Amino acid sequence: MLAQTLRQAAEAGAAQLRHYFQNPGLQTSFKPGGVNDLVTEADHAADKAIIGVIKAAYPDHFILSEETGNVATDSEYKWIIDPIDGTINFAQGIPICCVSIGLEKNGEMLMGAVYAPFLNEFYFAEKGQGAFLNDRRIQVSQRDQVLHACMVTGFPYTYINMPNGPLECFERFIRRGIPVRRLGSAAIDLCWVAAGRFDGFYEHKLNAWDSAAGWLLVEEAGGTVTDFEGQPYSPYQPRIVATNGRIHAELLAWLRGEVPAA
């Protein structure tokens, strides 16, 4: 029943994405505090549709959504929702965007779904049961060196002036000829690590709804997810490193600035 509700909620959100996509009259606004932190009427419509499905099935469950915020209860279950991950892509008519929903039970990620409707890709994972793309089991890549890896990252809307920040790390890789992509959707980044398309993903500043579903997909596909210090990952802290596992320790070293000699 939980898995069915998760799928139905993701599909309800995706229906709103399809309805509003490439609509020239799409209403948009910017969130306070970020130069290009965009929100659209489609975000709100998808959020309402997703929460409606969940609340119809489980009216007492805790909700954490990017657009609604906390709908707090004392339930052991928490649904963590990003109605559109990749909002700028969506508003620009770029089809790399998705619905992302994670489900926690007593603080442990239980299930996750990421639906990218314009790519026709539905990702699903349940703790201990593997990761799937359109009902086909997926696995991480087997590449074992950062120098030969294909990486993906993202950049925060509000830049943090700190050593080893996003630009410094990015420069470190590209100066050595390592391909680093920037898709504009952390949830899809994580799914593509899980599917073996990327070998690793790192980002300095994410929110829980950005990674709640995707990090479970990576782990269930055989990968490794930690913070920048190599500690067990929690979506409630900002920094994430997700890899196929084979390059994980080496990638952490690169992110610390411990770059091997050319």
Give the residue numbers marked as catalytic. Answer: 66, 82, 84-85, 87, 210
Chain segment 150-205, per-residue pLDDT in tens = 999 998 876 667 778 899 999 999 999 999 999 999 999 999 999 999 999 999 99
Q: How far apart are CA 144 and CA 247, in angstroms?
A: 5
Residue 247 structure tokens = 């390059």
Within a 13 Å sphere around the CA of 200, how many CA atoms are in the beta-carbon half? 30
Classify 259 as helix, strand or coil: coil
Which domains are assigned to the chain? Answer: 2-137 (3.30.540.10), 146-255 (3.40.190.80)
Residue type, 77: Y
Classify 231 as helix, strand or coil: coil
Chain segment 210-260, per-residue pLDDT in tens = 999 999 999 999 999 999 999 999 999 999 999 999 999 999 999 999 988
Chain segment 68-82, per-residue pLDDT in tens = 888 889 999 999 999
The answer to whether 197 touches 106, Cβ cutoff 8 Å, is no
**Distance between start and end Cα atoms, the chain:** 53
Residue 193 structure tokens = 């690590």
Among residues 25, 62, 57, which one has the least CA distance to residue 41? 25
95-107 burial, b if ≥16 CB within 10 A, otherwise e? bbbbbbbbbbeee
**CA distances to 39, 66, 158 from 31, in Å:** 7, 11, 11
- What's the mean per-residue pLDDT of the chain? 94
Helices and strands of the chain, counted as H and E runs: 7, 15
> Where do the H-state alpha helices sit in the chain?
2-20, 41-57, 87-91, 166-174, 186-194, 208-220, 248-255
Residue 35 pLDDT: 63
State the residue for tokens 């950005």: 210
